[in-house]
Amino acid sequence: MLKVKDLHAYYGKSHILQGVSFEVGKGEIVSLLGRNGVGRSTTINAIMGDVDCKGSILFNDEEIVGLDSHQISRKGLGIVLENREVFPTLTVRENLILGIKNMRKTGRWKIDDMFDMFPNLKRRADVSAGALSGGEQQMLAMCRALMGDPDLIMVDEPTEGLAPKVVDQVADLLTEIANRGVSILLIEQKLTIALKISARIYVMGHGRVVYEGTSAEFEKNEQVRKDWLEV
Amino acid sequence: MLETVIFSLLNGLVYGLLLFLLASGLTLIFSMMGVLNLAHAGFYMLAAYFAYTISLYMGFWFGILLAPLIVGLIGGLVERYGLRQVHQFGHVPELIFTFGVAFLLEEVVQFIWGRDQLAYNKPEILEGALFTLFGADFPIYKMFMLIVSVLIFITLFLVLKHTRIGLIIRAAVGHPQVVGMLGHNVPLIFMVTFGVGTALAGLAGAIAGPVLGTYPGMASGLGGIMFVVVIFGGLGSLGGAFIASIMIGLIQTFAIAIDGSLADVLALAGIIVTEETFMYDIWSTTMPQVAPLIPYLMMVVMLIFRPTGLMGARES
Ligand SMILES: Nc1ncnc2c1ncn2[C@@H]1O[C@H](COP(=O)(O)OP(=O)(O)OP(=O)(O)O)[C@@H](O)[C@H]1O
Ligand SMILES: [Mg+2]
């Protein structure tokens, strides 16, 4: 479904992505792991058209390098950014409405589904999103992306800074998303939920992918963890 | 006294709302695209000239209707084929580009219409006094300006607050990339915002032309105050721009109306100032003389104590 091949990206003169390649299949949960600053966020921001890049990104066999963010989004890609990036001055409901790309078409998700899953969001539907807790903002950001009915969603460090109970909620929601046939590319640094829910793992180091394998294989491979993940 | 207060209040409102017509577009464009459009007042002027020429052939009403639309269209094109190409080179080239457009507009206007003030006049139906109070007239035309500005203000508010496009625009303020990633056509929204912003400036020019004068200096005349408004109100804040517009409008007109000097105040305290008094020039300067300075003074003081302005959220 998503095939990234030999992706290069620069910030000014520094060569951040130096030939990243990986794939995500239909309905699959795949994790992209790596230490701080290896370029995971840059990778998915490049996929989303927000960072200039060279190389090839095929989505449903269609080249999307060079397209605008909104065009890429409308092809069925969704993203939940690293800092959640909810619209702080707008209400929870307005945030969700902004996720909808086409008001005339109903997708897999409706606002009421979101409110059923997260009563907290329902209770605070008309409160500014900026007033929500970190966990609630994370849920809101994910729900907002789902309102656009993506076929593949990329989620950047969703468990960062959240309490263990909320981390479980995130994992449950991701599993539920995958159950509805949506592919997931999960960016993580810790293994907490990545190992539990994903089928395959990629590890990034020095601007490229340095390891790929199934979760089971990865779990046994202590060397990779020591070389590329542990700090 | 009461007469002065009432007339200054009304005049201040008229002037303040006119400033808001100008400042709203400028601040909306800035907060969304991060571009301080130095050509904004140029579009204001261009519309006055267009309105004048159109009024010669089709009458005043077509003039004030069509001129803002044409200027808005030109604004949209300038964004689409100018600013958007320059954008990739960064903010400074963008700023220089709008500066260039401002110059271009001023030159073009002088080239086509000449240097003299045009006889762009109000229509007969808007001539004369609406009411007379304590022997002074309040012109119908000012009431007309007031009504147009209020209507635009209400429309702008309703569109931003209660429509889907308004919601997208409010979200795009400060977070355009995120809005794009959600599937909304941000380049198009930029173009439309720029077009509508310049159209609002155009409307201001078309209705101000007959009273403030239609001449090549009209852009720089109001342009400076317009920047004061958006900086004082807080760059990017519509609410701040509104408050600042009204405030500056009122302060300016009241300052002109109060015909006194510090010497008069000192006289009340029993201190008589004569030409021999130390720093006589300062004591004897009258309020109407310093009135044009007040907005700039306000801006400087605001920048010192609160660099983000009244309601500006943050530096970006
Ligand atoms: N806007 C930017 N300008 C310049 N350099 C950047 C920018 N964003 C990121 N970088 C640099 O690019 C490298 C990769 O950053 P990226 O955000 O992709 O890393 P990451 O793997 O997501 O790590 P983390 O999220 O933990 O910081 C880092 O060295 C970072 O300092
Ligand atoms: Mg990151």
C-alpha distance from residue B274 to each of B102, B166, B263, B277, B280 (Å)? 47, 60, 9, 5, 7
> pLDDT tier at B214 (50, 70, 90 boundaries)?
very high
Apex B248 CA angle, B285 and B173, nearest 5? 150
Which residue segments constitute the domains of chain A, with CATH numbers given?
2-85+151-228 (3.40.50.300)
| Site of tokens 């609630």 | A136
Give the other-Cβ count within 10 Å of A82's Cβ. 16
Give the chain B residue whose CA is nearest to the CA of A95. B171
**Residue nearest ligand 1's atom 1 by CA:** A11
Q: What is the mean pLDDT of residues B204-216?
A: 93
Q: Which residue has the higher pLDDT, B34 or B43?
A: B43
C-alpha distance from residue A86 to each of A164, B87, B152, B311 (Å)? 22, 26, 30, 21
Give the chain A residue whose CA is nearest to the CA of B177. A50
Q: Which residue has the higher pLDDT, A87 or B239?
A: A87
**Which ligand 1 atom is at minimum distance from the Cα of A14?**
5
C-alpha distance from residue A160 to each of A82, A134, B184 (Å)? 9, 9, 28
B143: exposed, middle or buried (Cβ count in 10 Å: 0-12, 13-18, 19+)? middle
Chain A within 8 Å of B182 (Cβ-Cβ)? yes
Q: Tell me what pLDDT residue A209 has.
A: 95
Chain B within 8 Å of A74 (Cβ-Cβ)? yes
SS3 state of residue B42: helix
**In this structure, are residues B200 and B155 in contact, taking their beta carbons and an 8 Å threshold?**
no
pLDDT at B179 over 50: yes
Going by C-alpha positions, the residue among B212, B211, B244 that lies closest to residue B24 is: B244
> pLDDT tier at B314 (50, 70, 90 boundaries)?
low
pLDDT at B315 over 70: no
Q: What is the mean pLDDT of residues B77-92?
A: 92
CB-based pocket (< 6 A), ligand 1 = A 11, 16, 34, 36-42, 82
Contacts of B66 (CB under 8 A, 6+ apart): B50, B51, B54, B58
> pLDDT tier at B316 (50, 70, 90 boundaries)?
very low
Query: What separation in Å is there between the alpha carbon of A36 and the centre of ligand 1?
Result: 8
**In this structure, are residues A164 and A193 in contact, taking their beta carbons and an 8 Å threshold?**
no
Give the other-Cβ count within 10 Å of B153's Cβ. 17
**In this structure, are residues B12 and B142 in contact, taking their beta carbons and an 8 Å threshold?**
no
Please tell me which of the candidates A70, A87, A89 has its beta carbon nearest to residue B180. A70
- Give dist(CA A78, CA B171) in Å, integer: 17
- Which amino acid, A93? R
Under an 8 A CB cutoff, do A98 and B167 touch?
Answer: yes
Q: Tell me what pLDDT residue B239 has.
A: 86
SS3 state of residue B24: helix
Q: Tell me what pLDDT residue B313 has.
A: 64
Mutate to test the interface with A, among B182, B188, B237 (most CBs of A within 10 A): B182
Average pLDDT over chain B reads 90
Among B residues 222-281, those touching chain A with beta carbons less than 8 Å apart = none
Q: What is the mean pLDDT of residues B192-213?
A: 94
**Residue nearest ligand 1's atom 7 by CA:** A11
Apex B157 CA angle, A112 and B65, nearest 5? 130
Q: Tell me what pLDDT residue A128 has.
A: 95
Under an 8 A CB cutoff, do A90 and B167 touch?
Answer: yes
Under an 8 A CB cutoff, do A70 and B177 touch?
Answer: no
Please tell me which of the candidates A74, A85, A94 has its beta carbon nearest to residue B183. A74
Per-residue pLDDT of chain A (231 residues; tens, 9 = 90+): 999 999 999 998 899 999 999 999 999 999 999 999 999 999 999 999 999 999 999 999 999 999 999 999 999 999 999 999 999 999 999 999 999 998 888 788 899 999 999 999 999 999 999 999 999 999 999 999 999 999 999 999 999 989 999 999 999 999 999 999 999 999 998 888 899 999 999 999 989 999 999 999 998 988 888 889 887
Contacts of B145 (CB under 8 A, 6+ apart): B14, B17, B18, B207, B208, B211
SS3 state of residue A87: coil
Instruction: Name the DSSP class of B306.
Output: -
- Which pLDDT tens digit goes with each residue over B24-36? 999 889 888 888 8
- A5 phi, psi to nearest 5 deg: -130, 120
Query: What separation in Å is there between the alpha carbon of A38 and the centre of ligand 1?
Result: 7
